[in-house]
């Protein structure tokens, strides 16, 4: 019998399968984190645009773009720009997830 020549082949195969599974799971986790970060950033920028619009219309007190900055800061994001043209408020923000900078923009206007 020549089983001694093939000894350990199953162990190498098992380690290869485990390594491949770890790579796939790590990639899936990274993609999930980035997707969740993008969704959270978009929600934060949407809220900031609405808050700035409410200040602009006099529903709350304060300066519209300062309010947008406060909302984004509370949601772990940064204000990039706040533009008010007429009754239209546009807010852009960023957040860093796993070293990757994500961007989002939202517009609010009365209807």
DSSP 8-state code for residue 57: T
Please give the average per-residue pLDDT across 51-76, as a whole number: 94
Q: What are the distances in angstroms from CA 43 to CA 20, 25, 111?
A: 35, 27, 20
pLDDT over threshold 80, residue 15: yes
Pairing relationship of beta strands 88-97 and 100-108 according to DSSP bridges: antiparallel
| Lowest-confidence region among 6-10, 88-92, 98-102, 107-111 | 6-10
pLDDT of residue 2: 55
Q: Please tell me which residue, 88 or 2, carries the higher pLDDT value.
A: 88
pLDDT over threshold 90, residue 77: yes
């Amino acid at each position: 019998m020549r089983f001694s020549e093939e000894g350990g082949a199953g162990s190498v195969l098992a380690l290869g399968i485990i390594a491949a599974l770890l790579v796939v799971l790590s990639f899936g986790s990274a993609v999930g984190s980035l997707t969740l970060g993008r969704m959270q950033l978009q929600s934060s920028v949407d809220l900031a645009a609405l808050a700035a619009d409410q200040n602009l219309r006099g529903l709350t007190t304060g300066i519209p773009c300062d309010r947008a900055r406060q909302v984004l800061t509370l949601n772990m994001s940064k204000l990039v720009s706040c533009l008010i043209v007429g009754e239209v408020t546009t807010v852009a923000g960023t957040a860093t997830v796993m070293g990757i900078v994500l961007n989002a923009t939202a517009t609010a206007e009365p209807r």
